Structure 1
Amino acid sequence: MKKNKIILLVSLIGLFVWQSCSNDILEEVPATSYSDSNFYSTEEGLKAGILGVYAQTQKMYDNYMSVPVMLGTDIAATRYASEYIATFDYFTYTSDENAIYHAWIQYYNGISRSNIIIKSAENSGVDDAVKQRVIAEGKFLRAWFYFRMVQLWGPVPLTLEVSNEEIPRSSVGEIYAQIVKDLIEATANEPLPLTKDATEPGRVTHHAAKTLLGKVYLTMASTKKYAKVDDLLSQVGKEEYGYSSIPESSSELYNKSKAVLNEVINSGTYALLDKYKDNFSIANKNMNSESIWEVQFSKENPSQFTKWMGMATWFPWKWPEAGWGGAGNVAPTPSFMSYYKKGDRRFYWNNPPWRISMINGAEYDQLIDWEDDLDLVVGGQYINHFYWGMGITKYRWTEKWNEWSPYDGVNTPNNGIVLRYADVLLMYAEADLEANGGIASQTAVDLVNDIRNRARQFNDETATGFSPNVAESSTPEFSNYTSGSLDLDAIMLERAFELCYEHHRKFDLLRTNRLQAATQSRLPANPGVGYYSGAFNFNDYRLLWPIPQTEIDIVSDKEGLFQNTGY
């Protein structure tokens, strides 16, 4: 780790020359304006420095970082049988997996940048309001980086300093204590603005920090209650590093989550958009009533995560619509299609509304409506049909999924949506359910039904116009929840319908110990073609990622940086 920490610190020399990626809302600060000794002594320097930390959040949406947390679930699969993306879909990665090493380095790069800017701001003499905002932003971002790491690896080295010293792994309890501390301090006395500034919408707000804190408490509670992390750590004699090191009970943590999320709800700052699709419109990003925090991309500094998930490119010789753009390397599974009920219009927005019907597995002859095709399921398999280059359409680059993209599906300005209000409502409902012994309050039921009522609206190209008040009675297979029907299974499914492909599903399944059951129920598109894998099993130890072997090899304290079991 010593070697890599030095590399990370060297990489930070260029921190202040980062150019923003959100519609030119944040300007590049010329490197020649500052020296190493005076850079952080001015407001401009601190601002440029914190933007350099935000720049690192984009790494969470590159192919190496985004694809691994998308795949290996019941809702998304890859068409590849080789390359690194398949190893994450089938859980065959090893401690030498380059994508895992890349993720480890990039997370610690973000943490190092956060540590530098926090320390620099604390020691600067700039206006106190500016200083406190930058410190709060640095702590929010550091908390987010560590939060993702502790979910993927379990205990990891914890450092708040700018150092090249070897650091052993800290317990899960220690890591979460620091995450919570950072987020509480980021919200105390409101150093962060209550609402977004339209000129800098990518910078976090007070309610973004509250939302992340609520998510952290919920993850701590559910992982402690349901997951197998402590069992895995006990296999290497490190059970004291697990979730038992968190002093609060799951019940206490659920109540803390509920209280914090209730603050966000009662703030009056957010509301569900009338149209589900408007959350993902490029023209509507950032400054809408449902957006809480998004990772920023623009035409000048574009994203590629939607390219890998995006629409088909494989049929230019048949229909003119077939050049939609995007690789389609991550696609919805037949399992996910079968979860939906008729009347849930999110079905059509999130996924291509058609499947391509194949003749002898060689050439397609027609498009088949997904909803009609559900009737073709026989014995858990789709007969005579399979995907071909049909990716995810949630992050559309035009209004319709089969229109030509002005970005050619290569580099798009879609933001990465990290936190939005629908997630707050669903998290609140889960915390409420668990805090009340498995029975949701009417308040929680009503909040989830608000999301469900919106899902009935006709708001995509498969329906005529927009119908804002579709009655529940018109969709008998897609009814509202009651306190008796809104259990944890229902909430997990509702989260999949609403938040699919937004980097939530894998973490939701991990923390509630549902991931293995999900992969065991995954349906293939057509087993005779071998396009996507169907149901499969994987060993318990893969619920945690391995520590990169290169990190273990270079440290002297190998007991301190012990490997997770199975690797």
Structure 2
Amino acid sequence: MKKIFSYIMAFALAGVAMSCEHTLDIENPNEISEQSFWRSENDALAGVNAVYGAFYRNGTYARWLQMYLNPRSDDGFASTGWGELRSTIDFTQVDLNFEGTRNIWDHHYRAIFRANQVITNVPNIQMDETLKQRYIGEAKFLRALHYFNMVSLFRSVPLVLEPSRPTDLPPQSSEEAVWAQIEKDLSEAAPNLPAKYDAANLGRVTKGAAYALLGKAHLQQREYQQALDAFAWLVDGNGTRLGLSGNDLYDIVPNYRDNFLHTTENNRESVFEVQFLALQSTTDEDAPTSNLGNQRGPFFGPGRRNQGDPQAGFNDVQMHRWVIDEFMEERTTSNGVDPRLYVTAIYNGNPETFYGRTFGQLVPDDQMQRAWYRKYLNDYHRQDETFEGPINFRVIRYADVLLMYAECLNGLNRTSEAYQYVDRVRRRAGLATLTATKPGLSAAAFLQQLMHERVTELTGESTRWLDLLRWGYLDDQSRINELKTRDPEFNNFDIGRDKWLPIPQSELDINPNLSQNF
């Protein structure tokens, strides 16, 4: 059951009313303003809840962020009839105001604005000091998370750290400055965040989430030692000793599929996840009962086979078959198929049913050799997809942390130490350990193996684009040529134009201090 987000408190942080000469300017006592807000502990709670509320906007985790970080990488492609969306995925985009890109920019900065309000105003509220520092820490994590997404997608973006005004025209900051602020926010947040919460606050930012995102930020910059130090809290530090009944706080859950169902959320493998609810009673996106659902399903789900069938999805994106081949490279120790494949992909070799139908009953005859991302689809409990999906999105889970930890050790030429962390992930899938099957790999060979491990463990979880970026695939034409062999859409890819998203033209039109990314 979702706990803290059943109702997102929406509140107005209105700007100071403009006045002019000879006009009587009287504050409306019934209208919330910046001057009348930020006075109590309840105001602080409402403020930080509003930052979480930005997760439900189209441009963050509800819709477009998942779209831009999955099929734009080499494991997926556009199958949509929506021309603007197709051109965004296949690198032929000409509309610099396409709503997906514009929503990502707008809605991330809305979240940053709300976080800045908390960070600036909550210190002045008379309230319990420990709780105050926790709220500020939550806001700093959330600001860092949104800047992580922005710098990873747009590179050089305005670094806004104070509550903004409509007249502000912030310049872009360097990529290095944005990363440095992300690291600062997370380093300051972690000490003031709890390791875990009670049931009533399930889903809030924890100390482990802050250290995991800090490690991820350092790793994305190939700062292996700093990343290792941050991840260590979860892998070899206090995060391994703070669980209930003597259990580790974080661990891999036995059933891989439990990471993508609405009935097994916030489990021990979850480090941080966005809480979603199948609820929509108004189209006002900031109302307390606005859409709190995961909107991924309709875009990622297959289309209907027959006209009268329930609408599984719009068939906007599909998965490349090479991903399935990657799973088939090895069998389990009992000579079976890697069970993660059936969770990852809807395809003609998957023996399970989807939306109450077999693959042959679901998919048109001319698409029988196609494949779709299965994770976060509602095929296991519904006959169709809607924009009110209940499945939480796992932003960071523990298996990813273990693989990133291994990548750090390998990057520090401590490859022999890295094996055990990959083996923990492989054992859950029923695979033989690398220690037994591929001992003594060089650092370069181990990294190649890690690339394989991340495909089989994490495909469809918004990690692949970041992996390609970190591994240098989007900087080197020879590596772009390699991507072309797996995804023909990369025939359109131009490094100078497509490595970073274009800044929306609407932003360039109003802010002369911004420069386009190409």
Give the TM-score range, shorter chain: 0.7 to 0.9
Q: Residue 497 of structure 1 corresponds to which residue in structure 2?
A: 456
Counterpart CA distance in 2 for 1:72 and 1:30 is 33
Change in 2 beyond 3 A, CA 1:30/1:74: closer
Q: 1:262 aligns with which of 232, 235, 243?
A: 232
The alpha carbon displacement at 1:304 in A equals 0.9
* Per-residue deviation, residues 386-410 of structure 1 (Å, max 9, x unmatched): 45885322224354xxx644x6544
1:63 has 2:63 as partner: yes
The answer to whether the Cα contact below 8 Å between 2:112 and 2:146 also exists between their aligned partners in 1 is yes
Q: Residue 43 of structure 1 corresponds to which residue in structure 2?
A: 41
Counterpart CA distance in 1 for 2:359 and 2:62 is 34
Q: Residue 539 of structure 1 corresponds to which residue in structure 2?
A: 494
Secondary structure in 2 aligned to 1:108? Answer: helix
Change in 2 beyond 3 A, CA 1:123/1:24: closer
Q: 1:176 aligns with which of 162, 179, 183?
A: 179
* Per-residue deviation, residues 499-544 of structure 1 (Å, max 9, x unmatched): 1111111111122122534540225xxxxxxxxx666241111101
Q: 1:395 aligns with which of 361, 376, 382?
A: 376
Change in 2 beyond 3 A, CA 1:101/1:408: closer
Q: 1:335 aligns with which of 318, 322, 330?
A: 322
* Per-residue deviation, residues 221-279 of structure 1 (Å, max 9, x unmatched): 2xxxxxxxxxxxxxxxxxxxxxxxxxxxxxxx211111111121122120101111111
Counterpart CA distance in 2 for 1:324 and 1:263 is 45
1:509 has 2:496 as partner: no
Q: Residue 22 of structure 2 corresponds to which residue in structure 1?
A: none
Counterpart CA distance in 2 for 1:147 and 1:122 is 24
Q: Residue 307 of structure 1 corresponds to which residue in structure 2?
A: 298
**Which sections of structure 2, spanning at least 5 residues, go unmatched?**
12-28, 241-248, 280-291, 332-336, 351-357, 475-479
Q: Residue 86 of structure 1 corresponds to which residue in structure 2?
A: 86
Q: Could you state the TM-score of these two structures normalised by the residue count of structure 1?
A: 0.73
Change in 2 beyond 3 A, CA 1:283/1:55: same
Change in 2 beyond 3 A, CA 1:366/1:171: closer
**Which sections of structure 1, spanning at least 5 residues, go unmatched?**
1-20, 222-252, 357-364, 369-383, 457-470, 524-532
Q: Percent identity?
A: 30
The answer to whether the Cα contact below 8 Å between 1:544 and 1:564 also exists between their aligned partners in 2 is yes
Counterpart CA distance in 1 for 2:82 and 2:72 is 14
1:326 has 2:309 as partner: no
Counterpart CA distance in 2 for 1:391 and 1:149 is 27
RMSD, matched Cα: 3.1
The answer to whether the Cα contact below 8 Å between 2:147 and 2:182 also exists between their aligned partners in 1 is yes
Counterpart CA distance in 2 for 1:302 and 1:431 is 35
Q: 1:277 aligns with which of 249, 257, 263?
A: 257
Q: Which amino acid counterpart does residue 226 of structure 2 have in structure 1?
A: K
* Per-residue deviation, residues 92-135 of structure 1 (Å, max 9, x unmatched): 12433332222111111111111011111112111111110110
The answer to whether the Cα contact below 8 Å between 1:273 and 1:289 also exists between their aligned partners in 2 is yes
Change in 2 beyond 3 A, CA 1:352/1:419: same
Counterpart CA distance in 1 for 2:99 and 2:342 is 35
Change in 2 beyond 3 A, CA 1:554/1:307: same
The answer to whether the Cα contact below 8 Å between 1:25 and 1:199 also exists between their aligned partners in 2 is no
Q: Which amino acid counterpart does residue 337 of structure 1 have in structure 2?
A: I
1:450 has 2:424 as partner: yes
The answer to whether the Cα contact below 8 Å between 1:452 and 1:480 also exists between their aligned partners in 2 is no
Counterpart CA distance in 2 for 1:131 and 1:404 is 42
Q: Which amino acid counterpart does residue 454 of structure 2 have in structure 1?
A: R
The alpha carbon displacement at 1:448 in A equals 0.5
Q: Residue 347 of structure 1 corresponds to which residue in structure 2?
A: 341
The answer to whether the Cα contact below 8 Å between 2:78 and 2:90 also exists between their aligned partners in 1 is no
Q: Residue 521 of structure 1 corresponds to which residue in structure 2?
A: 485
Q: Residue 296 of structure 1 corresponds to which residue in structure 2?
A: 275
Secondary structure in 2 aligned to 1:292? Answer: strand
Secondary structure in 2 aligned to 1:550? Answer: helix
Matches within 5 A, 1:141-160: 141-160=142-161
The alpha carbon displacement at 1:161 in A equals 0.9
Counterpart CA distance in 1 for 2:359 and 2:212 is 45
Q: Which amino acid counterpart does residue 413 of structure 1 have in structure 2?
A: P
Counterpart CA distance in 2 for 1:197 and 1:186 is 19
Counterpart CA distance in 1 for 2:317 and 2:277 is 22
* Per-residue deviation, residues 439-479 of structure 1 (Å, max 9, x unmatched): 6123x1111111112112xxxxxxxxxxxxxx739xx9x98
Counterpart CA distance in 1 for 2:189 and 2:10 is 29
The answer to whether the Cα contact below 8 Å between 1:208 and 1:292 also exists between their aligned partners in 2 is yes
Change in 2 beyond 3 A, CA 1:366/1:141: closer
Change in 2 beyond 3 A, CA 1:388/1:324: farther
* Per-residue deviation, residues 157-210 of structure 1 (Å, max 9, x unmatched): 1111112321111111111111111000001xx311101332222211001000
Question: When the two structures are aligned, how many residues end up with a matched partner?
Answer: 449
The alpha carbon displacement at 1:82 in A equals 4.1
Q: Residue 208 of structure 1 corresponds to which residue in structure 2?
A: 209
Counterpart CA distance in 2 for 1:35 and 1:348 is 51
The answer to whether the Cα contact below 8 Å between 1:25 and 1:200 also exists between their aligned partners in 2 is no
Counterpart CA distance in 1 for 2:185 and 2:490 is 41
The alpha carbon displacement at 1:34 in A equals 8.4
Change in 2 beyond 3 A, CA 1:410/1:203: same
Q: Which amino acid counterpart does residue 429 of structure 2 have in structure 1?
A: A
Q: Which amino acid counterpart does residue 48 of structure 1 have in structure 2?
A: A
1:564 has 2:517 as partner: yes
* Per-residue deviation, residues 264-303 of structure 1 (Å, max 9, x unmatched): 11221201011111111211111x1100111111122221
Counterpart CA distance in 1 for 2:370 and 2:325 is 19
Change in 2 beyond 3 A, CA 1:271/1:61: same
Q: Residue 549 of structure 1 corresponds to which residue in structure 2?
A: 505
Secondary structure in 2 aligned to 1:472? Answer: coil
Secondary structure in 2 aligned to 1:283? Answer: coil
Secondary structure in 1 aligned to 2:373? Answer: coil
1:484 has 2:441 as partner: yes
The answer to whether the Cα contact below 8 Å between 2:77 and 2:489 also exists between their aligned partners in 1 is no
Q: Could you state the TM-score of these two structures normalised by the residue count of structure 2?
A: 0.79
